[in-house]
Amino acid sequence: MNRLTFLSTLLIAASTTAGAQTVSLDSCRNMAIRNNKNIRIAEKNIEAARHEKKAAFSAYLPGIDFTGGYMYNQQQIELLAEDAKLPTMSFDPATQSFKYNLLTSPDGTPIKDPATGSLIPTEVAVIPKEAMEFDTHQVWGGAFTLTQPIYMGGQIRALNNITKYAEKLAVAARNSAVQDVVFAVDEAYWMVVSLKEKKRLADSFVTLVDTLRYNVQAMLDEGVATRSDLLTVEVKLNEAQIAQTKVDNGLTLSRMNLAQVCGLPSNTVMELQDEALRNASTLTMPGADNLADVYARRQDLDMVRQGISILEQREKITLSEMLPKVALVGAYSFTYPNVNHGFNKAYGGGFSIGATLTVPLWHWGGRYHHYQASKVNTQASRLALEDLEEKIELQVSQARFSFEEAKKTYDMTVSNMEKADENLRQAQVGFHEGVLTADDVIGAQTAWLQAHSEKIDAEIGIRLREVYLSKVLGTLAY
């Protein structure tokens, strides 16, 4: 690659990225948090939990309902099949009592009807059949009722506590989703930075090999090198250019992946603030934390804890099924026709108030076993929490060891890179002085490439392990 071609490549790259915006890691995190669908779903779950919390509180307050109905009847109510004839009574001053007005014989003995054997009244009061007929073809009715819980066995309080813990669980789930997104963004971000550094390294390596090819060609023209030396260098140049193409493609794909993670179109071009990779030697491992503090910060543990709290409240709900319940009930009911006023064709009604008491007596142990089952479920969740805490303790230790290993690896790669730089310099000097061959220079260049590549991997690795350690410790900023 001559100087003109190299400058043309730089100009093309500059024109390609001229319209790109420079973004920082925090900007990428914020974009991903704003655009991530899972986080938005978690936000909706929090909103729903808050509405459920308000709905549960309303159970403390009296409930007012209205019930209405209409019925059409083919037949009307007729209390009498025929006119009713009722015997009458008269007051007897001699006995100071009322006596029926009955037909009697001359000796005063009541006369009976020969056909029916019943006494025969001398006077009757007639109730016409029509007077006891009521028009009930169309009946309307309704009632306003008020119900105020007095004591529900602790059920209402438990339901309110469940919604409170459910809201906290939804918040913890949202926070956990945010941390997962932040970690994914960091991985994608530093992958772009890594490949950008490797692109620079690949470009430099191609330039090195191309310079060597130019020098070997000049030496071949002067007769101090062989055709085999040139072919060896050209093969290495082809390999370097193939590796350069792979890095270019990988960088393009990694940029697309970062844009997608940030919730942007995959063809969005972003220049990263950290593309000039900073020295990672200044990164230090966070100080040792009390495991209790780690447990308190971990959102996944908080989700389990809130779940246990919900199960504890469900125990109280199942217990309330075995306790008495008291409620105050009031109502205003009305009908048409007015049943309180002789089925008069008008709306009429009245107020009523009372109390209800429900006392469970015997259910063959069903409710008791239901209560015991809820207690066992809570105990199982507590055991699951203890098991998760033990695993997190191991996870924290592994993350710390991994960070320390990455730091040591980085320090060694820096040392190896310095040695590779010096080895390449000496090889180039020896080649120009004629004491080393082209193969020696290619070997030194390959070692130089490997050392620099390992240093980039180690630098990115230590940053990723720092992020992972922060996530494990529950201190990952979001």
CA distance 391 to 376: 23
Kindly write down the DSSP assignment for every residue of 201-247, as one continuous string. Answer: HHHHHHHHHHHHHHHHHHHHHHTSS-HHHHHHHHHHHHHHHHHHHHH
- Summarize pLDDT for 86-108 with one digit per residue, the tens: 888 888 788 888 888 888 888 77
User: Taking 90 as the threshold, does the pLDDT of residue 131 lie above it?
Assistant: no
Contact by Cβ (8 Å): 251, 192: yes
Q: Examine the pLDDT at 13 and tell me if it is beyond 50.
A: no
Cα 30 to the center of its chain, rounded Å: 19
* pLDDT tens for each residue of 173-219: 999 999 999 999 999 999 999 999 999 999 999 999 999 899 889 88
Give yes or no for residue 342 having a pLDDT over 80: no
Report yes or no: 178 and 30 within 8 Å, Cβ to Cβ.
Answer: no
Q: What is the DSSP string of 136-195?
A: -SEEEEEEEEEEEEEE-TTHHHHHHHHHHHHHHHHHHHHHHHHHHHHHHHHHHHHHHHHH
* Cβ–Cβ < 8 Å for 269, 18: no
- Asked if pLDDT for residue 325 goes beyond 50, the answer is yes
Higher-scoring residue by pLDDT: 145, 477? 145
Predicted confidence band of residue 5 (pLDDT cuts 50, 70, 90): very low
Residue 212: C-alpha distances to residues 2, 216, 242, 449 (Å): 12, 6, 17, 15
Among 4-8, 35-39, 51-55, the range scoring the smallest mean pLDDT is 4-8
pLDDT of residue 194: 92
| pLDDT surpasses 60 at 4 | no
Question: What is the value of pTM for the model shown?
Answer: 0.79
Measured between alpha carbons, how far is 260 from 252 in angstroms, rounded to an integer?
A: 12
Q: What is the mean pLDDT of residues 41-66?
A: 95
Confidence of residue 7 (pLDDT cuts 50, 70, 90): very low
Of 240-254, 269-283, 429-443, give the lowest mean pLDDT range. 269-283
* Mean model confidence pLDDT for the chain: 87
Closest to 388 measured CA to CA, from 326, 329, 472? 472
Distance separating alpha carbons of residues 177 and 41, to the nearest angstrom: 10
Whether the CB-CB separation of 12 and 4 falls below 8 Å is answered with no
Q: Which of 258, 354, 323, 320 is nearest to 25 (CA)?
A: 258
pLDDT value at 222 more than 90:
no
Q: What is the mean pLDDT of residues 258-273?
A: 90
368-376, long-range: CB < 8 A, 24+ apart: 368/322, 370/318, 370/321, 371/315, 371/318, 371/319, 371/321, 371/322, 373/318, 374/311, 374/314, 374/315, 374/317, 374/318, 375/315
Residue 459 CA, chain-centre distance (Å), reads: 35
Helix extents (H) in 21-124 = 25-35, 37-57
Max avg pLDDT among 76-80, 101-105, 211-215, 276-280: 211-215
Tokens standing for residue 167 = 């809201």
- Does the pLDDT at position 232 exceed 80? yes
pLDDT score, position 12: 33
pLDDT band at 418 (very low <50, low <70, confident <90, very high): very high
Q: Are 30 and 261 in contact (CB under 8 A)?
A: no
User: How do 270-272 and 21-23 pair as beta strands?
Assistant: parallel
* Mean pLDDT of the 241-248 span: 95
Cα gap 74→253, rounded to integer Å: 80
Strand 84-87 with 89-92, pairing: unpaired
- pLDDT value at position 287? 62
State both tokens at 415.
């040392």
- Crossing angle of helices 227-261 and 438-473, in 10° steps, is 20
What are the tokens at 3?
């100087």
Q: What is the pLDDT of residue 17?
A: 40
Q: Which of 89-98, 281-290, 299-308 has the highest mean pLDDT?
A: 299-308
Percent of the chain with pLDDT over 90: 62
Residue with tokens 């193409």: 245
**Is 185 buried (19+), middle (13-18) or exposed (0-12) by CB count in 10 A?**
buried
Can you read off the two tokens belonging to residue 28? 């990428």
Query: Which long-range CB contacts under 8 A does 447-450 form with residues at least 24 apart?
Result: 447/420, 447/423, 448/205, 448/208, 448/420, 448/421, 448/423, 448/424, 449/201, 449/205, 450/420
> How sure is the predictor about 288, in pLDDT bands with cuts at 50, 70 and 90?
low
What pLDDT, on the 0 to 100 scale, is given for residue 281?
A: 58
Helix or strand (DSSP H, E) at 369: helix 366-433
